[in-house]
Amino acid sequence: MNRSPSPLPAIELAVELGARSYPIAIGANLLDDAARFAGAIRGRHALIVANDVVAPLYLDRVAAAIRAGCEKVQVSTLILPDGEAHKTLASAARVFDALAAMKANRDATIIALGGGVIGDLAGFAAACWMRGIAFVQVPTTLLAMVDSSVGGKTAVDLAQGKNLVGAFHQPRAVIADTAALATLPLRELRAGFAEVVKYGALGDADFFAWLERHAEALLAREPEPLAATIAHCCRQKASIVARDETEQGERALLNLGHTFGHAIETAMGYDGLLHGEAVAVGMVLAARLSASHGRAPAADTQRLIALLERFGLPTAFPPGLDADLLLGLMQLDKKNLSDNLRLILWRGVGRAEIVPDVDLATIRTLLS
Ligand code: NAD
Ligand code: GLY
């Protein structure tokens, strides 16, 4: 099918990591950009990993673009079941089986076509196969475009907790086709805005105010503000990752709301709130905790809640969840350095801070 070129030129950014630097392209119909794929793919084998929701929508186009751009590359596909519940070691093993069936050695590239689940999982498999092969992120959800496809965090979940097994492994390119957002269910689009609001909340008051002015246009998927938003978030993430690739310091700020959020997702068996929804609730809990200690203005917490609610996101602790179960799960969080919790707390719109030693009793009171 002939797709008309986007009226907006693709936005080109980069993550600067020396020899491992890579481009991020954001624009409509990039899934058909054979030359861009040719520039990103290395080796003789390309395995496109997608799920059974995204594959019928976009897999053929990506495979055709890769075949057109890389004539000598053997292209195979793997379609996994949809959902966070499948971001597992068992799914990673299916990627390894597919690579083995192709007789792929290090001379291979994995293309992750989908949301954050496929991106994290396929990236993890790429980090492990023969101790690391190339991979390309082709994010198709808003959440993946603004956050998970950039920065090289890859992982799978265990029943005991989210993202407990993983690796830092940077992609060779991020190719974000904003036209793919047209088919994204509204609930998933809303979930992506939780991570968007996070960037404003943790480090950019002007962007937060811009989101307050443009929330309705963004929810209506207006191409220009949407592309500008994705680019803004990627720029912010790329600059943090360039300074702190492996989260020795400031990168942890990107986890605002995530310690609470991950525990909520795990407690609900990865089948309750979406990741973005859990992060929205988590950010509000972090803000309330900060406000109760006088570290953040209560009025800013109200602003945060109001903006999240305009994006249609939940802001209240889900009823029926046990505070002690959640606390136990939070103690498994990767950021912790002691029995107390290392949390990202809030100082108000545009400022977050790493607090190394929040005592459990304080959090228990908040959750109950
Ligand atoms: P997801 O990958 O499950 O995608 C959401 C849903 O949308 C799925 O049902 C998917 O099949 C469907 N979908 C995807 N693209 C579509 C499209 N264009 N049209 C129609 N349907 C589409 O979820 P997500 O919100 O993208 O990602 C969440 C995951 O990302 C979590 O596992 C989270 O831990 C991870 N994450 C990772 C990082 C990181 O830095 N690596 C950052 C944030 C989140
Ligand atoms: N999403 C958090 C990070 O990439 O560091």
Domain ranges of the chain: 10-183, 186-367
Write down the pLDDT at residue 34.
98
Write down the pLDDT at residue 353.
95
User: What does pTM read for this prediction?
Assistant: 0.96
Q: In which residue ranges of the chain is pLDDT below 50?
A: none
CA nearest to 116, candidates 242, 270, 342, 315? 270
Q: How far is the CA of 184 from the centre of ligand 1 (A)?
A: 10
CATH 1.10.10.10 fits 10-183, yes or no: no
- The catalytic residue positions are 131, 153, 195, 237, 247, 251, 255, 258, 262, 275
- Reported as a single tens digit per residue, the pLDDT across 318-362 is 988 999 999 989 988 766 666 778 899 999 999 999 998 888 888
Cβ of 190 less than 6 Å from ligand 1? no
Q: Residue 11's beta-bridge partner residues? A: 26
Write down the pLDDT at residue 332.
80
Q: How far is the CA of 227 from the centre of ligand 2 (A)?
A: 20
Cβ of 183 less than 6 Å from ligand 1? yes
* Residue 216 C-beta-side C-alpha neighbours within 13 Å: 1
Write down the pLDDT at residue 217.
98
**What six digits make up the tokens of 340?**
């107390």
**What six digits make up the tokens of 171?**
């992609």
Write down the pLDDT at residue 357.
87
- Reported as a single tens digit per residue, the pLDDT across 245-277 is 999 999 999 999 999 999 999 999 888 999 999
Please state, in angstroms and rounded to a whole number, the distance separating the CA atoms of residues 255 and 263: 13
Cβ of 275 less than 6 Å from ligand 1? yes
Q: Which residue's CA lies nearest to atom 35 of ligand 1?
A: 116
Across all residues in the chain, what is the average pLDDT?
95
**What six digits make up the tokens of 256?**
């605002």
Please state, in angstroms and rounded to a whole number, the distance separating the CA atoms of residues 237 and 144: 12
Q: Is the Cα dihedral 247, 250, 254, 260 positive or negative?
A: positive
Domains 10-183 and 186-367 share a fold: no
Residue type present at position 103 = K
**What six digits make up the tokens of 269?**
């068996």
Write down the pLDDT at residue 359.
85
CB 14 within 8 A of CB 73: no
Pick the CATH number of 186-367 from 3.90.1150.10, 1.20.1090.10, 3.40.50.970, 3.30.530.20: 1.20.1090.10
Site to substitute for ligand 1 among 79, 113, 118, 120, most atoms within 8 A of C-beta: 120
DSSP conformational letter for 81:
P
